Amino acid sequence: MFDPVIAPSGTLLGLLQRGRGDGTLHALTAPRAEALAALNHCVLHDPRHDWQVENRSLYYARLYLDLNGELDAIEAHLFDPEDVLDADESRTGLALAVLGHLASYGRLDALRLLRRYAAHGVNWAWALDELALRDDDAGLRALAAPVLARFPHNAEGDAELAVAVRDAFEPRPWRLWADDPRESIATRVRAAHETGSFDRWQRQMSPTGPRPGWSVRAVFEWAQQGVERGAALHVPAARCLTAVAGPEDRPEIVEAARSGDEGARCTALRYLADGNDPEALGLIEGAVTNGSTPVVEAAVAAFERLRSLAAVDLARRWVHRPDALGAAAGRVLACRGGTKDRDLVLAALREAVRGEGPDAPTLWTLVDGTGRLGIVCAAPVLRHIYRETASSHLRGRAARALAATDPSFAAGFAIECLWDCEETTRELAARHAETGDNRVVERLRRLAADPAEEDEVQTAVRSRFGPDAPAV
């Protein structure tokens, strides 16, 4: 999947792509055709940088409801000939998830579309998972024949069916089909269940990787084999070292951290940092100076895991370095520094935004640290990150930091956060948004009554309406 193209934050499309609450508020006041065009664009061209963790489906589904939006564009997208050519879940996953939420709100057209796609679409398993949560038994039983028809009646087809049953995210349809009155369906699904269970048992009985009795050298070799296969194994390898290494092995591990091959060096650095070894800091600095890119990344990650006062003291010196270790030092101070480190963390935050933009990965930790340390003068930078970042998770972190640093948050961004795509951001807003704006009270009541809303959000809303709550 290519990185999505995100429109400017001041446009309706840009707001909706980011999942901002202002996107919904602007869409509801824009011409309906324009709002639906922007909404369809977002659903059909997933705007998330990390589609597996960022939320958009409920956000977009609620807007379809508010706009009474038709589903013609989604239907055309799902059944486009490209569906056969591009089986990547990211092409249709967001549209199917939106349909799932719409079905839970009682949209029968969404339910029918999900059923049709489960029977004929390439990403049928996702559609079936959505139906497993929303459809009735009769609807699911009607899908048994078309779904099983995807798997030929031969050894290869039976093996693929067993994998599909074993790996199903929602098991309800398969359990229904195992008890189907049609013997041909029930027999085949039961056999697939048994094969999948046996395969799982075989994997558990024949594990790969480290075993009891391995030596330090064997663990290093296993980590290097991962490097040669393109798999980073130094993190599990470091955990293995904890189990197999004794005090007598320390010289070998220190030497590996200093000059070993890539797998061994990354593993040793991680192990020594996790154990707060006195030589870890010097070895980390050396690795950043002369190591390969994976070694540098492992060294930086190891440094950020150190919890010692010595590591924090060194971070105050290293934070001025113009390299990866300097950036990591800023994050260490954000996590574990004190009030005297506020200026250093603020400088690191500003430099990250200036040098890498509002989506820089390092900002996640720096934004959290800014809120933790209560750096009030960081509010303008946090507001910029909030507005511009394409990551709804980072925006939520910026909102949390603003709640701790910006006195205007409750009457400003907190209000639009009530419509945000991320439930943690809506929860924050439910606790902080000032109720002088009539939209706030109405929105809180709607969230409290919405069966699709997360429990944490509704708990926060109830805290505003309880007997001990301030007047709403």
Residues whose CB is less than 8 angstroms from the CB of residue 211 and which lie 6 or more positions away in sequence, other chains included: none
pTM of the model: 0.89
Whether 46 and 93 have beta carbons less than 8 Å apart is answered as yes
Angle at 78 between CA 75 and CA 82, to 5 degrees: 135
Separation between Cα atoms, residue 396 and residue 382, nearest integer Å: 11
Over range 409-423, report the average pLDDT. Answer: 95
Whether 163 and 197 have beta carbons less than 8 Å apart is answered as no
DSSP characters over 308-355: SHHHHHHHHHHTT-SSHHHHHHHHHHHHH--GGGHHHHHHHHHHHHHH
- φ, ψ for residue 125 (rounded to 5)? -65, -40
Task: Report the pLDDT value the prediction gives residue 467, as an integer from 0 to 100.
Answer: 55
**DSSP 8-state class, residue 248:** G
Whether 67 and 35 have beta carbons less than 8 Å apart is answered as yes
| Token digits of residue 292 | 């390969």
The amino acid present at 88, given as its one-letter code, is: D
Task: Report the pLDDT value the prediction gives residue 205, as an integer from 0 to 100.
Answer: 46
Angle between helices 216-229 and 262-274 (to 10 degrees): 120
Q: What is the mean pLDDT of the chain?
A: 91
| Token digits of residue 70 | 């038709």
Task: Report the pLDDT value the prediction gives residue 213, as an integer from 0 to 100.
Answer: 63
The amino acid present at 75, given as its one-letter code, is: E
CB atoms within 10 A of CB 107: 18
278-329 pLDDT, tens digit per residue, is 999 999 999 999 989 999 999 999 999 998 899 999 999 999 999 999 999 9
The amino acid present at 32, given as its one-letter code, is: R
| Token digits of residue 381 | 């930078």
* CA distances, 295 to each of 200, 210, 250, 256, 392 (Å): 35, 22, 20, 12, 31
N-term to C-term CA, the chain: 45
333-366 pLDDT, tens digit per residue, is 999 999 999 999 999 999 999 999 999 999 999 9
Task: Report the pLDDT value the prediction gives residue 97, as an integer from 0 to 100.
Answer: 96
SS3 labels along 187-218: HHHHHHHHHHHHHHHHHHHCCCCCCCCCCHHH
Separation between Cα atoms, residue 15 and residue 38, nearest integer Å: 10
Task: Report the pLDDT value the prediction gives residue 85, as an integer from 0 to 100.
Answer: 86
**DSSP 8-state class, residue 378:** G
Residue 61, exposed/middle/buried by CB under 10 A (0-12, 13-18, 19+)? Answer: buried
Q: How many residues does the chain have?
A: 472
Cα dihedral across residues 125, 130, 136, 139: positive or negative: negative
Task: Report the pLDDT value the prediction gives residue 168, as an integer from 0 to 100.
Answer: 87
- φ, ψ for residue 337 (rounded to 5)? -75, 170
38-89 pLDDT, tens digit per residue, is 999 999 999 998 888 899 999 999 999 999 999 999 999 999 999 888 888 8
DSSP characters over 158-169: HHHHHHHHHT-S
431-466 pLDDT, tens digit per residue, is 999 988 888 999 999 999 999 999 999 999 998 876
Cα dihedral across residues 39, 43, 45, 47: positive or negative: positive
**DSSP 8-state class, residue 80:** S
Please state the separation of Cα 24 from the chain's center in Å. 22
The percent of residues above 70 in pLDDT, for the chain, comes to 94
Task: Report the pLDDT value the prediction gives residue 396, as an integer from 0 to 100.
Answer: 97
Judged by DSSP in three states, 307 sits in: coil
192-239 pLDDT, tens digit per residue, is 888 755 455 445 445 555 555 678 899 999 999 888 888 888 999 999
The amino acid present at 330, given as its one-letter code, is: G
Angle at 450 between CA 448 and CA 456, to 5 degrees: 55
| Token digits of residue 416 | 């639009």
